[in-house]
Amino acid sequence: MQIPVNAKSHSYEVLIGSGILRSACESLKDKIEKADKLVVFTDENVWQAQQNYFVENFPYPFEVFVMPGGEACKSFKNFEDAHTFLIEKHCSRKSLVFAFGGGAVGDLTGFAAATFMRGIPYIQIPTTILAHDSAVGGKTAINHPLGKNLVGAFYQPEAVIYDINFLESLPSKEIRSGMAEVIKHALISDETWLKELLQTPSITNIEKKLLAKHLKSGIEVKANIVAQDETEHSVRKFLNFGHTYGHAIEAAAGYGGLAHGEAVMIGMVYALILSERYGNISREFTKEFLKFAYNNNYPFKEVFKYTFDDLYEYMLKDKKMEYGKLKFVLLQEIGKPYVKEIDELECREVDRELRHLLE
Ligand code: NAD
Ligand code: ZN
């Protein structure tokens, strides 16, 4: 299955399916075989879990750079190590890098590719559910000690190869995290699809074919938005639904304490309560959504570890601040997002309502 991503700067395809690594590489032969060297960037967990399948199905010789697992690979130190590796392996402008891993590996690899010799091509091979989101759209970044994703570039990949087989070794915390972004894509685009997702008995146990269908729909929503607004001046902001409060919780917990999507799920409930005040989202719907999230073990108790003031401080540091004002993505109704400026008092009230609902 192929999904085109027609970003302004560069168009490419997302190839998605079960067991497609080999056939996808064959269909991308022209791009791959013109490279003078192939380098795979991955992290230690992914490599340990998926090395055998990768080596069996990747039809070319390659060099591999194995990085620290998860978020740790997005450090300046690892960014430098990645460049050192490329230099020591005599890579050139004609070399091609593969990002084989979750969103963290994808972000680091994309930024290393964007900056090595002023830019070499890269291909995303995502291995998490969350990466159905992060691998598409060309946002690349590493973390600064003062904040996450503060150093990066928009840099689109040559292609995305999404082989669902890689998801088999994913821990349930990471499945839960990734499914939150799938649900976000449904909330901002399509009520029927959302209802279908909310009827899933267990989000960490979705049958493979159905999962592939949801992931494809998520990628289509993202691709459609990126085609309209590659560099986040308008509709791409909608993808931040749930992320203002979510990022605050994620930051307060210390990155790595909560998986990104787990925090975003909490942020989405907050954004729904806020949306009730201005549009056609009912309290009944918010409660139904919360019940679903509760039943699927999203870690709402985390909220009670922090005061509103703790969280508000993090919200103010978020990149979505413009001219000192906090802007939230809200829903007019399901599938109809918009951006609204919200003042501190109202943020505080909604935080109180959320805590009340969670008690
Ligand atoms: P991740 O890459 O940190 O992966 C989560 C954990 O699962 C890690 O420990 C990883 O080693 C492990 N893992 C990955 N695939 C596995 C597999 N198949 N089997 C076993 N273990 C596996 O996290 P993520 O949730 O995929 O991505 C989060 C990152 O993505 C964050 O850094 C976030 O900032 C970034 N992100 C980027 C964008 C974007 O548009 N670029 C969008 C959303 C998030
Ligand atoms: Zn996100």
One domain for residues 161 and 179:
no
pLDDT tier, 322 (very low <50, low <70, confident <90, very high otherwise): low
pLDDT at 145: 87
Please name the residue whose Cα sits nearest to atom 8 of ligand 1. 70
One domain for residues 337 and 208:
yes
User: Which of 169, 198, 215 is at the close of a domain?
Assistant: 169
One domain for residues 297 and 154:
no
Q: How far is the CA of 61 from the centre of ligand 2 (A)?
A: 34
Burial 311-333, CB ≥16 within 10 A → b, else e: bbebbeebebeeeeebbbbbbee
pLDDT at 254: 86
48/255 Cα distance (integer angstroms): 23
CA 216 to chain centre: 14
Across 281-286, average pLDDT: 97
One domain for residues 66 and 78:
yes
One domain for residues 164 and 227:
no
CB 45 near ligand 1, within 6 Å: yes
Which residue range forms the structural domain that includes residue 215? Answer: 172-358
Residues in Cβ contact with 78 at an 8 Å cutoff, skipping those fewer than 6 apart: 67, 68, 72, 108, 142
One domain for residues 51 and 63:
yes
CB 105 near ligand 1, within 6 Å: yes
121/110 Cα distance (integer angstroms): 9
Q: Which ligand has an atom closest to residue 124 CA? A: 1
One domain for residues 160 and 27:
yes
One domain for residues 196 and 337:
yes
User: Which of 99, 134, 169 is at the close of a domain?
Assistant: 169
Residues carrying an active site annotation: 118, 139, 181, 222, 232, 236, 240, 243, 247, 260
pLDDT tier, 323 (very low <50, low <70, confident <90, very high otherwise): low
Query: In the predicted model, is pLDDT for residue 274 greater than 80?
Result: yes
Query: In the predicted model, is pLDDT for residue 170 greater than 70?
Result: yes
pLDDT in tens, 135-147: 999 999 999 988 8
40/279 Cα distance (integer angstroms): 47
One domain for residues 160 and 188:
no
Please name the residue whose Cα sits nearest to atom 24 of ligand 1. 103
pLDDT at 351: 98
Residue 8 token pair: 């302004």
Query: In the predicted model, is pLDDT for residue 325 greater than 80?
Result: no
pLDDT at 320: 59
* Residues 28 and 159 sit within 8 Å (Cβ to Cβ): yes
One domain for residues 217 and 301:
yes
Across 306-329, average pLDDT: 84
Query: In the predicted model, is pLDDT for residue 187 greater than 70?
Result: yes
| Average of per-residue pLDDT values in the chain | 95
pLDDT at 255: 74
One domain for residues 248 and 137:
no
Please name the residue whose Cα sits nearest to atom 37 of ligand 1. 134
Query: Which residue bears the tokens 């591999």?
Result: 64
One domain for residues 311 and 207:
yes
pLDDT at 315: 92
- The SS3 call for residue 187 is helix
Across 167-177, average pLDDT: 96
Which H/E stretch holds residue 18?
A: none
- The SS3 call for residue 340 is strand
196/203 Cα distance (integer angstroms): 12
Q: Considering its fold, how many domains does the chain have in total?
A: 2
CB 134 near ligand 1, within 6 Å: yes
pLDDT tier, 8 (very low <50, low <70, confident <90, very high otherwise): confident
Q: Is 151 left (phi over 0), alpha (psi -120 to 50) or beta?
A: beta
- Among 110-114, 206-210, 285-289, where is mean pLDDT lowest? 206-210
User: Which of 143, 169, 195 is at the close of a domain?
Assistant: 169
Percent of all residues in the chain with a pLDDT value above 90, rounded to a whole number? 89
Q: How far is the CA of 10 from the centre of ligand 2 (A)?
A: 23
Q: How far is the CA of 129 from the centre of ligand 1 (A)?
A: 8
pLDDT tier, 324 (very low <50, low <70, confident <90, very high otherwise): low
What CATH number corresponds to the domain at position 72?
Answer: 3.40.50.1970
pLDDT tier, 124 (very low <50, low <70, confident <90, very high otherwise): very high
Q: How far is the CA of 161 from the centre of ligand 2 (A)?
A: 20
What CATH number corresponds to the domain at position 290?
Answer: 1.20.1090.10
Q: What single-letter DSSP state applies at residue 325?
A: B
Q: Which ligand has an atom closest to residue 222 CA? A: 1
Tell me the best of 48, 130, 181 to mutate to test the pocket of ligand 1, counting ligand atoms within 8 Å of each CB and taking the most.
Answer: 130
pLDDT in tens, 190-236: 999 999 999 999 999 999 999 999 999 999 999 999 999 889 888 99
- The SS3 call for residue 135 is coil
pLDDT at 294: 95
